[in-house]
Amino acid sequence: MFHPLLPVEAIRAAEEGVIASDSFPDETMQKAATAVADTVQWLSTLPGVPGNDRAAGPDDNGAHGLSGLSQEKPSSPAVIIVAGSGGNGGDALYAGAVLVQRGWHAVAVCVGSSVHERARRAFEKSGGVVVGKNGEAEEADLSPEELVQYRARFSSCFLIDGVTGIGGHGPLRDEPATWIAAAADAEIPVVAVDIPSGIDADTGIAHTPHVVAAATVTFGAFRRAHAMNSDCGVVLQADCGLRDACRSECEKREADGELVASGVRAVTPPDIRQIALPDGMVTLAPDAAKVRGTDARGEAPGAASSAVWPAMALEPGAHDDKYTGGVVGVRAGSPEYPGAAVLCTTAAVRATSAMVRFAGKSRDAVVAAHPEIVAADDIASSGRVQAWVVGPGGGVERNYDDLHGLLSGSETSHACPILIDADGVTALCQPSKNKAGSDEEHADSDETFPLIHAVKNYDGAVILTPHQGEFRRVVKAVLAEPSVELSSEEREALTDVLNQDSDYPRIPAVSAVTRALHCVVLLKGRSTVVAAPADRSSGTLADASSQVKVCVVDAGCSWAATPGSGDVLSGLAGALVAESVGHAGPDTELPLSALMETVVRAAVIHASAADIAAETEDGYAPTSASVIAEAIPRARARLQM
310-358 pLDDT, tens per residue? 556 899 988 888 888 999 999 999 999 999 999 999 999 999 999 999 9
- The annotation status of 566 as a binding-site residue, yes or no, is yes
What's residue 524's pLDDT?
98
Query: Annotation-wise, does 45 bind a ligand?
Result: no
User: What is the predicted pLDDT for the residue at 74?
Assistant: 57
Please name which of 562, 466, 568, 566 lies closest in space to residue 514, comparing C-alpha atoms: 466
Residue type for 148, please?
A: V
Asked if residue 395 belongs to a known ligand binding site, the reply is no
Strand pairing class (156-162; 190-193): parallel
Instruction: Return the pLDDT at 55.
Output: 41
Phi and psi at 90, nearest 5°, equal -65, -45
Ligand-binding site membership of 524 (annotated): yes
Q: Which domains does the chain have, with CATH numbers?
A: 3-51+74-255 (3.40.50.10260), 328-432+447-639 (3.40.1190.20)
The answer for residues whose C-beta is within 8 angstroms of residue 109's C-beta and 6 or more apart is 80, 81, 82, 83, 130, 131, 132, 134, 142, 179
Residue 525, annotated ligand binder? yes
Helix axes 488-497, 468-480, angle to 10 degrees: 140
* CA 37 centroid distance within chain: 26
The answer to whether 567 is a known ligand-binding residue is: yes
pLDDT score for 168: 85
528 is known to lie in a ligand binding site: yes
The pLDDT, as a whole number, for residue 621 is 97
Q: Are strands 215-219 and 190-193 parallel, antiparallel or unpaired?
A: parallel
Name residues of the chain where pLDDT drops below 70: 1, 50-74, 132-140, 286-312, 412-413, 433-446, 536-546
Distances, alpha carbon 228 to alpha carbons 382, 524, 609, in Å: 40, 12, 20
Is 113 annotated as a binding-site member?
no
DSSP state of 621: -
- According to DSSP, the β-strands at 527-533 and 520-523 are antiparallel
Distances in Å between the Cα of 170 and the Cα atoms of 128, 174, 203, 278 are 30, 12, 12, 31
Contact present, 555 and 607 (Cβ < 8 Å): yes
| Res 354: pLDDT | 95
pTM over 0.85? The answer is yes
